[in-house]
Amino acid sequence: MNYCVILVVILVVSFSISVTSGSHERVILRAIIKEEKSNKNGEFAIDLNATNFDSVFNDTPTPFAILEFFAHWCPACRNYKPHYEKVARLFNGPDASHPGIILMTRVDCALTINSNLCDKFSVTRFPMLFWGPPKKFIGGGWDPKQEKSEIIPIENGQTADILLGWINKQLGRSYGFDDGKHEKEHLQANTSDSGQIAKAIYDIEEATFTAFGIILDHKMITPATRASLIKFLQLLVAHHPSKRCRKGSAEILVNFDDLCPSQTMSVNNEKAESCTKKGALGNYHICGKEVPRGYWMYCRGSKNDTRGFSCGLWVLLHSLSVRVEDGESNMAFRSTCDFIHNFFICEECRQHFYGMCSSISSPFKKARDFALWLWSAHNKVNERLAKEEASLETGDPEFPKAIWPPKKLCSSCYLKTSKENGKIEWDENEVFKFLVSYYGKGLVTLQKEMEQQSGSQTEKIVAEEVVGSTHAVVVPVGAALAIAVASCAFGALAYIWRSRQKNRKYKYNSLKNI
């Protein structure tokens, strides 16, 4: 019995998945992306209360937070608000000069719901400000008699200039109110510091949302492309590094036949309205309701029109490539190639990528081979674009296209470099180790820390997220059947799970109609 058969049997016996479990709401993200309201009213600090306090601090990706306690009836607080918001505008919101560094929040102690919360922090005056790591605010408080605490009261921050000066002193920075949307002094950190990759988990969510949005906006789901989208969703369900995106992809996949029925599409490739953003499919959020956040962290360019989505999509593909098993490698390869070919809207890029896909004549048998192929393909793209951008001066001056990884991140990856033509001889074993570490363990570091803080465990695959009923009957599901047979591990997993979910849903609907 071969690997795929064994794996399918194990999956049939062992796994049943549900997408009904709840997840922490990204309250902070919802607040941040309220662009219209926030920008019109000049409000950038996030309003907290006793019900969302812990979840906001738990979910924020920022390393630092400032918490202001105030009372809406207090004249001094009203006068201070413009100062606080002036600083908050630098760090919060889609147009922030320095996003992802400091979360600026506020709590109204005049509201009864917040009385206990304000007492925990020994609030004795208004306004009163605190500084600290976001996680330290969760379920805690502040006692002036406490000798050691990572939560620090800001004793002198009564004007915007003074508060920003205090922040600069604390962080050793020189932020200013005239800073533009992008600041160069922090950009290089995400290529020179391997720890920065942890922030890319949020950019991957952003890129996943953007890709799905493009597909719906441009009505790209047709009879010819429908199957390739299902295959890629199966890959996301099993191996997306974000739990939120795995669940969102799962909800779409299990309902896809209903949301985007094949019978509504004619043989003439007519796009069914139900398969667009205006239709039923547009009501689903592939990474949760709180994505997008409105800005990039790891993939942030020095100019608004560089990096961003393309960077996030590459990181997503690399993260998927290091998570698949050997038996899934060729299906993951084909799913990736078909997805780019059918749904990447840049025509030239799409053709170049698919040309590299077409050059592979033998199926991949090892996950290592797929990961290294994608790495090599990315470097070929970088080489081509580096020449074009240099001649046209269209590249990002702070992030010129370069061979990856640089020696600073993986010196052992380099065997030797030719002095004549600069060609690099790679140690592919070391390269693969680097890819697994960087796009695997390193990428989810921040997410793991967040989940540990909230008392949950990081799941290896979607099948371990929620244990469903093991008594569901497996029934065939139209578009997923042939794909599941071919896709081995993640396809079989998604097919079995999708079938059971649909079967349970149909049983439930039948009972309601009795």
Cα gap 276→219, rounded to integer Å: 6
Cβ–Cβ under 8 Å, residues 380 and 356: yes
Q: Is 475 exposed, middle or buried (0-12, 13-18, 19+ CB in 10 A)?
A: exposed
Residue with tokens 């030719």: 418
Peptide bond into 476 cis (omega under 30): no
Whether 77 is catalytic is: yes
Residue 104, Cα to own-chain centre: how many angstroms?
22
3-state secondary structure 325-378: CHHHHHHHHHHHHHHHHHHCCCHHHHHHHHHHHHCCCCCCCCHHHHHHHHHHHH
Pairwise CA distance, residues 497 & 506, whole Å: 14
Sign of CA dihedral 143, 147, 152, 154: positive
Q: How far is residue 16's CA from residue 498's CA, in Å, rounded to a whole number?
A: 9
- Look at residue 132 and give its three-state secondary structure: strand
- Using CA atoms, how far apart are residues 313 and 307, in angstroms rounded to an integer? 10
Count Cβ atoms below 10 Å from residue 402 Cβ, excluding itself. Answer: 12
Where are the extended beta strands (E) located within 409-512? 414-417, 424-426
Q: What's the rounded Cα separation, in Å, for the pair 403 and 422?
A: 11
Give kind and range of the element (H or E) at residue 67: strand 64-70
Q: Helix (H, G, I), strand (E, B), or coil: what is residue 39?
A: helix
For the chain, state the CA radius of gyration: 25
Tokens at 281, concatenated: 């499919």
Active-site annotation holder among 4, 77, 410, 413: 77
Distance CA(288)–CA(246), nearest Å, equals 10
What's the rounded Cα separation, in Å, for the pair 39 and 216? 28
User: Distance between the two ends of the chain, CA-based, in angstroms?
Assistant: 45
Catalytic status, residue 299: no
> Cα–Cα distance between 136 and 141 in angstroms, integer?
9
CA-based nearest residue to 317, from 390, 401, 376: 376
Of 105, 107, 140, 102, residue with least CA distance to 121: 140
Please give the positions annotated as active site: 74, 77
